[in-house]
Amino acid sequence: KQEVTQIPAALSVPEGENLVLNCSFTDSAIYNLQWFRQDPGKGLTSLLLIQSSQREQTSGRLNASLDKSSGRSTLYIAASQPGDSATYLCAVRHGSGGGADGLTFGKGTHLIIQP
């Protein structure tokens, strides 16, 4: 059974710092990996999607990398801002057959950017 782990569980840093969030998964047979942010009481906003054949994706100040063979992904946030405060979730889509196309999520990293 696929398991997704996110480290750290919580992080508080001053504004302007660059930071890295980590995600690991136990079964490397994934189809893709998606990073989301979730604001309190809200749904999920998709940040980046990395297909299993890709190594990284970039969107603005965000950069996500994927090392499928080692079961790891990182989300790099450059020049952090208070508006980046949220919970960041990592999720993998299964790559094998049988219609198992839902996402398996980690518990998330709760990020606070101090002004």
Partner 1 sequence: ETGVTQTPRHLVMGMTNKKSLKCEQHLGHNAMYWYKQSAKKPLELMFVYSLEERVENNSVPSRFSPECPNSSHLFLHLHTLQPEDSALYLCASSQAVSGRAYNEQFFGPGTRLTVL
Task: Choose, by CB under 8 A, the member of 12, 18, 26, 45 that binds partner 1.
Answer: 45
**100 contacts: CB under 8 Å, gap ≥ 6:** 94
> If binding is defined by CB under 8 A, does position 92 make contact with partner 1?
no
Asked if residue 8 has a cis previous peptide bond (ω within 30° of 0), the answer is yes
Q: Output the smallest distance, CB 98 to partner 1, in A.
A: 9
Q: Output the smallest distance, CB 45 to partner 1, in A.
A: 7
C-alpha 3/C-alpha 11 separation (Å) is: 22
Q: Which stretch binds partner 1 (CB under 8 A): 16-24, 54-62, 71-79, 91-99?
A: 91-99
C-alpha 21/C-alpha 74 separation (Å) is: 6
Contact 36, 91 (CB under 8 A): yes
Task: Choose, by CB under 8 A, the member of 81, 101, 112, 114 that binds partner 1.
Answer: 101
Residues 58-87 that bind partner 1 (CB under 8 A): none
Three-state secondary structure call for residue 104: strand
Site track 3-42 with partner 1 (rule: CB under 8 A), x = hit: -x---------------------------x-x-x----xx
What is the contact surface with partner 1 in residues (CB under 8 A)? 4, 32, 34, 36, 41-46, 49, 89, 91, 93, 99-108
